[in-house]
Chain A
Amino acid sequence: MPVIELEKVTKSFKGVPIFDNASATFEAGKIHGIVGPNGSGKSILFKMICGFILPDTGKVIIDSQYQSPSRTFPEQFGVIIDRPGYLPQKTGLDNLRDLAKIRGAIGDAEIRDAMEKVGLPPGLKQKARNYSLGMKQKLALAQAIMEDQKVLILDEPFNALDADSVDLVRNLLKKHREQGRTVIFTSHNREDIDLLADHTLRISNSKLERIS
Chain B
Amino acid sequence: MLYSFRNPFDFAPLDFANFFLLHRAFDAYDPIAIAFVPVLVAVALCFAVARYTDKQGGTRLKLPVRWPLLVYLALCLLGILYAWVYELQLGNSPTDLLFVAFYGVSASGYTWTLYLFHSTVFLGFAYLFQLRLTEELDARIYYVALRRGSPLRWLARFVLPVVGRAPLLLLPLAAMTFVVAVLGNFTGSNSDAIEGIPHPGWILYQFFVNGTLQLLCYVLITFIVSWVSGRTVAGLLALGTILVLSLPALNVGQLLPAALNSMGYLELGASELVRITVVLTIYLVILTVITTLVVGNRRLFFNERI
The residues of A with any CB-CB pair to B shorter than 8 Å are 13, 43-44, 47, 50-54, 68, 70-75, 77, 79, 81, 83-89, 99, 102-103, 143
Residues in B whose Cβ lies below 8 Å from that of A103: 147
A44 to B142, CA, bound (A): 13
A53 close to B142 (CB less than 8 A)? no
A43 close to B299 (CB less than 8 A)? no
| Given A13-B303, A52-B298, A52-B302, A83 and B150 contact (CB-CB distance below 8 Å) | no
- 18 other contacts beyond A79-B146, A83-B142, with CB at 8 A cut-off? A43-B306, A44-B306, A47-B142, A52-B298, A54-B298, A54-B299, A70-B150, A72-B149, A72-B298, A73-B149, A73-B150, A84-B140, A85-B139, A85-B140, A86-B139, A89-B65, A99-B144, A103-B147
How many A-B contacts are there with CB distance less than 8 Å?
Answer: 72
B138 close to A102 (CB less than 8 A)? no
Residues in A whose Cβ lies below 8 Å from that of B275: none
Q: Please give the distance in Å from B59's CB to the nearest CB on chain A.
A: 15
Residues in A whose Cβ lies below 8 Å from that of B51: none
In B131-153, the 8 Å CB interface with A consists of 135, 138-151
Chain B residue with Cβ nearest A44? B306
Q: Indicate the member of B138, B150, B151, B306 with the most A CB atoms within 10 Å.
A: B306
A51 to B298, CA, bound (A): 8
Instruction: Return 11 A-B CB contacts under 8 Å, by A number.
Output: A47-B302, A52-B298, A54-B298, A83-B139, A83-B142, A84-B139, A85-B142, A87-B139, A87-B140, A88-B139, A99-B147
A74 to B299, CA, bound (A): 18
Q: Please give the distance in Å from A104's CB to the nearest CB on chain B.
A: 10
B298 close to A143 (CB less than 8 A)? no
Q: Please give the distance in Å from B242's CB to the nearest CB on chain A.
A: 28
Residues in B whose Cβ lies below 8 Å from that of A79: 142-143, 146
Q: Indicate the member of B141, B145, B303 with the most A CB atoms within 10 Å.
A: B303
Q: Indicate the member of B65, B145, B149, B151 with the most A CB atoms within 10 Å.
A: B149
Q: Please give the distance in Å from A38's CB to the nearest CB on chain B.
A: 14
B303 close to A53 (CB less than 8 A)? yes
B141 close to A102 (CB less than 8 A)? no
Q: Please give the distance in Å from A131's CB to the nearest CB on chain B.
A: 13
A17 to B68, CA, bound (A): 42
A72 to B303, CA, bound (A): 17
A70 to B141, CA, bound (A): 19
A73 close to B145 (CB less than 8 A)? yes
Residues in A whose Cβ lies below 8 Å from that of B147: 99, 102-103
Q: Please give the distance in Å from B303's CB to the nearest CB on chain A.
A: 6
In B275-306, the 8 Å CB interface with A consists of 298-299, 302-303, 306
Partner of B144, one of A72, A74, A84, A102: A102
Residues in B whose Cβ lies below 8 Å from that of A52: 142, 145, 298, 302
